[in-house]
Structure 1
Amino acid sequence: MPAGANLLAMMILAIILAPLLEEMGWRGYGVDSLRAKTGMLKATLLFAALWSAWHAPLMLIGGTYQNQLARMDNPIFLGNFFVSIIPAAIIANWLYYKNNRSIGAAVVLHSMLNAASVLLNAGQVAKCIATILYAATAAAIIAIDRTAFAEGPRNFLYDAEEPVKSAASRP
């Protein structure tokens, strides 16, 4: 396959397909399941750990970004990739819940993060700086919207249902 076709395929995968499929599974199912048991902040942190672990096997697959990081002389850059997932998860989960559990908001964020990395061809030091900026953004979101992250377990399955009125409460 010509180099241009490889680049196009990688861009489609990284910017469109991977964010769409991952967000459908992670936010469309996984985050709500965790939040129903643990609450917003704990679910987000557990989710970030799972999301990071999800990417770990890619270190073993030649040609992947994670494999390239694993083969570099400086392990800080590989560590940065996995650490960057934590603030990304906080921001994505916050957007997901603030937009009525729309995976579209999370897909757009995920696509933008991947696009910035692929299209700008940022160096590893720039990506470390970006992780610091993501972390500052995530910290600001948590500080500003403390009540959202302080919420305990919540099962969204029942949110749309009307409360059942007992016979005693009817006129």
Structure 2
Amino acid sequence: MSKAIYRNSAYNTFLHVLGASMPSIIGIAFTGYFGGVKKIKQLLKKIINWKFNVIFYLLSLVTLNAQLFLSYFICSIIGFNIKVFVNSSFQGFKTDSVLGIFALFIVIVLFGGPLQEEFGWRGFLLPRLQKKFHPIYSAVIVGVVWSLWHLPMFFISGTGYNNFLVYMLVTTILSIEITWIYNKTNGSLLFPIFIHGIDNTCGVLLNVSGNQINKASTISHIIVIIIMVIIVIDMCKKTSKRVIEI
């Protein structure tokens, strides 16, 4: 095959989207392999399982990246010399309006990871792990696998991926948060996709500047740790629900 195909923007985009979609493609394929068409239909229906208390939607907005930037914002209010701001554009999207931000969010959900991956991570892998392990252990395993899936990105320049160990830690924390909501909503895939999308959007949309970022960062990370401890404690309760595979 000619190498020119990789220099063609249309082919390049297609191959990128196809490659990024493999977790969901494989998750759906394996679901069909082990359970047939009936199980695939059950899996796909989990994405429209939305009738839950509004509190879960509000909690889904406060993802890991949102927690960090919200903490930065609080620090700025109490007197730290920092400023939290919204980037005016990203990848051609004008994000200086609510409509622009919403459009970016939709594109990220469809092509930036959430829909491309969640049928694999939370649709197929997580419920099967939870059949054998505690939800926390299962969430950690998914976080590690999720991180390793992105490992090749750390060898490609210009992708924005830097420290893999930090990335794995952050991804595992996010995996625990998603697992917590996932179990609270009886295995709805809508919430993992929504949380994944919000977190990715916050990561590229929000920014911070100022000469006290390091001090504010310490406080922000302490807040994230406190939130994580609260979630882990709740997940350790004997009454915690565990979603078994479909």
- SS across alignment from 2:207: coil
1:49 paired with 2:138, answer no
Relative to its length, the structure with more strand (as a share) is 2
Compute the displacement of 1:136 (Å): 2.7
TM-score by length of 1: 0.67
Give the match for residue 93 of structure 1. Answer: 179
**Unmatched runs of 5 consecutive residues or more in structure 2:** 1-8, 10-88, 94-103
**Unmatched runs of 5 consecutive residues or more in structure 1:** 71-77, 158-171
1:19-98, aligned counterparts within 5 Å?
19-66=114-161, 69=162, 78-98=164-184
Q: Aligned AA for 2:197? A: S
Residues 14 and 50 (structure 1 numbering): CA distance in 2 closer, same or farther, change over 3 Å?
Answer: farther
With 41-50 and 129-138 compared, the bigger mean Cα shift is at 129-138
CA distance in 2, matches of 1:137, 1:108: 19
Q: Count the aligned residue pairs.
A: 143
Give the match for residue 108 of structure 2. Answer: 15
Compute the displacement of 1:118 (Å): 0.2
Compute the displacement of 1:138 (Å): 2.1
Q: CA RMSD in A?
A: 3.3
Please say if residues 39 and 150 of structure 1, whose CA atoms lie closer than 8 Å, have aligned partners that are also in contact: no
- SS across alignment from 1:121: strand
Relative to its length, the structure with more helix (as a share) is 1
Please say if residues 84 and 131 of structure 1, whose CA atoms lie closer than 8 Å, have aligned partners that are also in contact: no
CA distance in 2, matches of 1:14, 1:148: 39
Give the match for residue 232 of structure 2. Answer: 142
TM-score by length of 2: 0.49
